[in-house]
Chain A
Amino acid sequence: MLKKTKRTHEFRDPIHNFISVDRQERALIDTEPFQRLRQIHQLALTCNVYPGASHKRFEHSLGVMHLAGRVFDVVAAHQNRHPETDHIFPDDKVLDQWKTTLRLAALCHDLGHLPFSHAAEKQLLPKGQDHESLTLALIDSEYLAPIWKSGANIDKDCVRRLAVGSQKLCGESFSDWEAILSEIIIGDSFGVDRIDYLLRDSYHLGVSYGRFDHLKLLESLRILPKSSDEGGTREPTLGVEAGGLHSAEALLLARYFMYEQVYFHHVRRVYDFHLINFMLYHYGNNGYPVELKAHLQQTDIEIMAAMRCAIHEGSDCAELASRVLKREHFRRVYERNPSDDEVARQAISDRKLSPEKDQSDISAAKFIFQRCVKCFDPALLHFDSYTQKSNPALFPVLMPDGRIEESTEASLILGSLPLTDVKFIFAAPEIAENVAAWISANRLKVLEGA
């Protein structure tokens, strides 16, 4: 047997060309939890809409690691440090160790994903748990313990913090430096998790919406005080120098277009709905197995096999499986329409239309759906709604004269970026035509409060 002498290993990657890993990273990649990511689709059942969407969390995690290392090199370079945030950097002697910690955390960030990624997470896991909980459990587990003991002296608790972030670990204290490193991976504006998935998803789906000049953006990232105004906060935050503002705009526009055209495509959304229903039936009253050994046995393959089996054996959940595998999915019969929303708002203001008790969604789609369920079988209807949760367009920009401006002041585009807000009404194929006809005939009467 040949003696292993290679200190680095390379993966060919369609997005980043070559991704290099050292021995410790290779050891992590070779563990069971990480290898499992080869069987978790990055985009759930989007491949039923865009056939090329067959890529997995495995290569995405490698890409995130690769980008995290590149961003670290840029922001930590002495010539790129802002005098007001210079104090947060650790000593040069330990910078390599921090870079290794960051890259390992990037590799770990998606370990806890359920089959088909985000699709069924909320419904399947116990309240208060999510895939990040499982990620943390895996980092703490015996599966990865040998990694933390090998190679460079890596603080496992630090890897946990960087991989998951302060939002999920609200009981733990993050230093400014750790908060920034975590932001490099999972930050809302410039997280490399997002940068990689936009580029990768765009490539595999064959769409150009997700492409942007990411190399320019990475080179422009800086750790900046949030504001240079007297009344603003000096908290260190990931931002850009002015030369990279257009590439930041391009990233956020790419995000917006991918959300609108791909991630919230109506067929993709309805497949998520059917997949959730099947998985709820499949896992039964016990729910998804969160015990780690059982969790690691669950991949997309087991779910697909269960669906095929259900159809072939004609079991109770065959219909649920058929919605997915035989394309008997619910059809879109209505989607959000700004003009209809305006009609509804006017009627509400005029007190001709009233939200029901505790109703917070006052969109036209919601009012129409409420009426549909009174006219058709509710079991054959589905209302889908998603609103963007955060505003990633807020970050500091270092202007040429040394001032720090907020991004929405420095960029007209970022100040006008719309929120992603989708609403669909779906109906089973057997009644879809009737429902669509009913909506067409009655929607204005409903919205005007008749």
Chain B
Amino acid sequence: MAKAHEFVLAGGVINALHRAGSWCGETHIQKSCYIAKHLKSVDFESHFILYKHGPYSFDLSSTLNSMRAQNIVSVTPRNYGSTYELNLSLWSALDRAAGCVFYRFEDDINRICLFLAKKNVAELERVATAVFVCLNFPDLEKSKKSLKLRELKPHISLPEADLAFHDAANI
């Protein structure tokens, strides 16, 4: 099972997304955690790869399932996909057991979740993949980044890719 602090950080992201008005599906959680880890050095151990919908972590998916199995999060199917909700009292107990790790990253997580909260799945995929391109191909000229994104995700158009990089720059 993932360590307690992984549960705490993931739970903190879920809570922050809800407070920012998100319907908080798994894609929101995945992309928020990815950006938090790779842009703000939030201490996630989950390993991310480029997969469906952009950067994705099977470790994080497993963490979310473990949390769900223990009712630390609940998952409710909705019209547009399942929504995750946090049991705050159980989460707080885990945070105390993990040495109150969340407060160190609270501001960064809140900012990222506020930025991503209202985006739909397609927008999340694009902006997270744009961040992936920036981080993994840092020497690529700005004019070639959108082409690279399209190479990785051919179903994303060039104008959409351009917009995604513009968006990512605002994180």
Contact = CB atoms under 8 A, between A and B. Distances in A.
Contacts of A17: none
Given A345-B90, A360-B7, A408 B2 contact: no
Contacts of A152: none
Given A227-B121, A233-B121, A362 B90 contact: yes
B51 A361 contact: no
Given A231-B122, A233-B125, A355 B97 contact: yes
A387 interface: yes
Nearest to A342: B71
Contact of A390 (B62, B77, B80, B94): B62
Contacts of B41: none
A390 B58 contact: yes
A217 B97 CA distance: 46
A415 B90 contact: no
Given A345-B90, A349-B90, A361-B70, A166 B61 contact: no
B135 interface: no
A231 B120 contact: yes
B53 to A, nearest CB: 6
A385 B62 CA distance: 14
B53 A387 contact: no
Interface in A370-425: 385, 387-391, 406, 408-409, 415, 419, 421
A170 B155 contact: no
A419 B68 contact: yes
Nearest to A411: B77
Interface residues of A, number: 46
A421 B122 contact: no
A79 interface: no
Interface size class of B (residues with CB under 8 A): 35 or more
Given A358-B3, A360-B4, A233 B65 contact: no
Contact of A235 (B1, B52, B90): B52
Nearest to B69: A421
Interface string B123-152: 101000000000000000000000000001
B93 A358 contact: no
Interface string A325-342: 000000000000000010
Interface centre among B72, B90, B99, B155 (most CB of A within 10 A): B155
Nearest to A225: B155
Given A235-B52, A361-B1, A348 B89 contact: yes
A287 to B, nearest CB: 23
A167 B72 CA distance: 27
A149 interface: no
B46 interface: no
A354 interface: yes
Given A363-B70, A409-B79, A355 B62 contact: no
A interface: dominant SS: loop
Contact of A359 (B4, B79, B87, B153): B4
A408 B77 contact: yes
A59 B6 CA distance: 40
Given A235-B52, A360-B6, A341 B89 contact: no
Given A167-B58, A233-B53, A354-B96, A362 B155 contact: no
Contacts of B71: 341, 345
B81 interface: yes
Nearest to A353: B93
A6 to B, nearest CB: 42
A176 B120 CA distance: 22
Interface string B82-93: 100001011001
Interface in B78-119: 79-82, 87, 89-90, 93-94, 96-99
A169 to B, nearest CB: 9
10 A-B pairs with least C-beta separation? A231-B120, A170-B49, A415-B77, A421-B69, A349-B89, A355-B97, A389-B62, A360-B4, A234-B155, A408-B77
Given A167-B49, A230-B122, A388-B65, 8 more contacts: A179-B52, A226-B52, A233-B121, A362-B70, A362-B72, A385-B1, A389-B65, A390-B62
24 contacts: A170-B49, A173-B152, A226-B53, A227-B121, A229-B120, A231-B122, A233-B125, A234-B122, A235-B52, A348-B89, A349-B89, A354-B97, A355-B94, A355-B97, A357-B99, A361-B1, A363-B70, A389-B61, A390-B58, A408-B77, A409-B79, A415-B77, A419-B68, A421-B70
